[in-house]
Structure formats: structure tokens, C-alpha cells
Amino acid sequence: MNKELVLNRLPVPTWNRLRVNFTNAEVPESPEQIKYDVELPSKIDVREEGFAGASGQVIMPERSAGEEWAEYIEGTSLEEVSYVLGEGKTNAEALRLTFKGEGNGSRINLVAKDNANLTVVYNMTGDFDKTIVRDTLISAGDNATVTLIEIYKLGDKTRVVDSIGGIYGKGATFKLYQIVVGGKDMILGACADLNGNSSGIEIDSAYLTKGDERIDYNYIARHRGQHTTSNINVSGALDDKSSKTFRGTIDFLLGASGAKGAEREDVLLLSEDVINKTVPVILCVEEDVEGEHGASIGRISDEALLYFASRGIEEKEAEELLATARIDAVSGRIPDEKTKKELLSTGEDD
């Protein structure tokens, strides 16, 4: 059985008639535990326990999918698995979690102690006729870095809800790379509590959609510490009757003096029937901050098509090249060489 939830709420709602304040989704009432194929570096400890921050304190992060999601996921029988990297350690090889189709729910905690550098890769490739729910909580201690790479290359039967929440100490950094190629209904997001001074979040996301596929993003940066930074970059291409909603919120809270935040989106429209909704939000109650946002949304220009035609490239091929270039651009910035090589060598057709 399924139950319907309200997810990815905009932190400050706008006009209801715009239909961007939240999204609805059906999730499995009793999800079954996902059994990942795990490549586990020796330096990382695995603990079957609930969330505990890098300092040992239990302060629950805000989840990007929202309060209804938090109540739902905590009410399931899914086991929590914590991957912990000790103080000052670096996992030279990434922790890799690959979904092969068994189960449909997971709760994972990623903890990097002070001065640690943790890299994690989630990989989900295939066409699974199910709704998959994934909850990830992150804690990064002082001067720690957590890099999370998520790869979704899915068919038109798979539905995913992927919620990320994290708390970051002094000088800590969270880097998120998301690649989405396909998927019937993709509800994604990340919320970062930048509590420590000079902490930061960097998001680099790219997508390709076709048919009647849908992507719904909700990225939130809560600037609490001084001189905190956030950079949110999303680019992609929409084709056929697909749709995408992007919510990006940069929230400068009282005390976040010297903070800087920026969000940018680049959207290529390949059909007149696509639906694109972009909602950049900057909230501010602190005076000494810098926030900016920008979006580039449009079709391929006639001049560009003429340029391609002059080199023997037809319109459809030109569209595919420009769309794939968005995926390749983000793939090329991924710091994990194994993942980067796989993405750039296989392209979008696998």
C-alpha cells in the first residue's frame, strides 16, 4: 500500500496558483530495506545506529523533503546505517553504494569527524517498476569535507524520493553532485545547516528528461555562521512533455555576517510541450551579506542551428549534443576519477 505525502515545500510560500509551493507524491507505506552492493574503504566504520553528529551531539538536521517526510521515514521499520570517517582521515577510494533492484527504502547517515575528508558515491542504474525512498543525513565536523555523488540513469518506470539533510561545523564543506538521466518521477533535494563559521555548500546538478518524466528539486542553504558560502548550480534539458520544478533557497539568518550565496540555472527547452518552473529565493534578516541568482532558459537559437547545419549536423543531432553537453560538463567536475571516467565514457545511452 502507498500513502501520499506533501514534499519539497518552499520555505516561504508564494501564490498557490503558481503550483510551486510543494509537490505531492505517493510513497510505500512499509518500504523494504535496500540491499546495496557496497565497496567499503577500510578507514570507514560501519555502525547500525541512529544519527549522531560528528561531535557526538544528536541534533537532527532539517530534511530537504520536509516535515511530513521526516515523520514518515522515522516511522518506517527501515534500519539506519551510519558510515563514519574518523578525525583527520581521508578515504582515498570512495565509499560506493550501488542499487541493483532489491528493496525500495534506505536510511543512511554520513559522518565526517574533524578534519576528515569523506567521499561517497550512490549509483542507481536500470528500470525498476517501483517507488524508491532514500533518506540521507550528514554531519561534518570542523574543517571536514563531505562529497556526495549521486548518479541516476533510469528508465520510465522508476520513481524516486531522495531527501538529504546536513549540519556543518566550522570550516566544513559539503559538495553534492547529482546526475539524473531519466526516471518517471524524481523528487530530489538537499538542505544544509551552515552552523559553523566559514562553512559552505556546493551543489552541481545536471539532468535530461524526455517523455512525461518529471523532476522536482528543493535545495536549501541555511546560513547561520559568519562568512558561510553557498553555490547552487543546476543545468539540464527538457524534451517531449517532460517537466521540471527547481526551488533554490538561500536563507541568510541573523548572525550570518559576511555570508555569500549564489544560485544559477541553465535550462534548454527542446519541445514546445515541456513545463519548466524555476523558483529562486533569497531570504535575508542579516545586513552584511551577498546574495545573487540568475537563470538562462530558452531554446536553441536559429544562429546555433545554422552553425551546426553548416557542418553537416542536423537539428535533432544538434539538440542531443547540446543536451548531453550539460551532463558532460557536470560529470567533468566530479572529483572521483572512477565515476567521472564511467560517466564520460558511457554517455546517456546506457
Give tens-digit pLDDT for 315-349.
888 888 888 999 999 999 999 999 998 888 765 44
d(CA 350, CA 334) in angstroms, rounded, equals: 19
Is the pLDDT higher at 235 or at 92? 235
pLDDT number for residue 350: 43
Is the pLDDT higher at 223 or at 50? 223
pLDDT number for residue 82: 96
- Are the C-beta atoms of residues 313 and 319 closer than 8 Å to each other? no
pLDDT number for residue 201: 98
- Detail the DSSP E strand segments found in the chain: 2-7, 23-28, 37-39, 44-47, 80-85, 95-99, 105-112, 117-126, 131-140, 145-154, 159-168, 173-181, 185-194, 200-209, 214-223, 229-238, 243-252, 259-269, 275-284, 289-298
Q: Using alpha carbons only, how large is the chain's radius of gyration in Å? A: 20
pLDDT number for residue 347: 53
Element (H, E) at 340: helix 337-346
pLDDT number for residue 49: 84
pLDDT number for residue 120: 98
**How sure is the predictor about 99, in pLDDT bands with cuts at 50, 70 and 90?**
very high
Average per-residue pLDDT for the chain: 93
Q: Tell me: the pLDDT tens digits for 32-88?
A: 999 999 999 999 999 998 888 777 666 889 999 999 999 999 999 999 999 999 999
pLDDT number for residue 244: 97
Q: What is the pTM of this model?
A: 0.95
Judged by average pLDDT, the poorest of 48-57, 137-146, 242-251 is: 48-57
Element (H, E) at 322: helix 315-333
- Mean per-residue pLDDT for 79-108? 95
pLDDT number for residue 348: 44
Q: Which residues pair with 232 in a beta bridge?
A: 203, 263
pLDDT number for residue 63: 98
Burial code (b: 16+ CB inside 10 Å, e: under 16) for 118-130 equals bbbbbbbbeebee
> Percent of the chain, pLDDT > 90?
82
pLDDT number for residue 316: 83
In the predicted structure, residue 119 carries a pLDDT above the cut 90: yes
> Percent of the chain, pLDDT > 70?
97
pLDDT number for residue 349: 44
pLDDT number for residue 12: 94
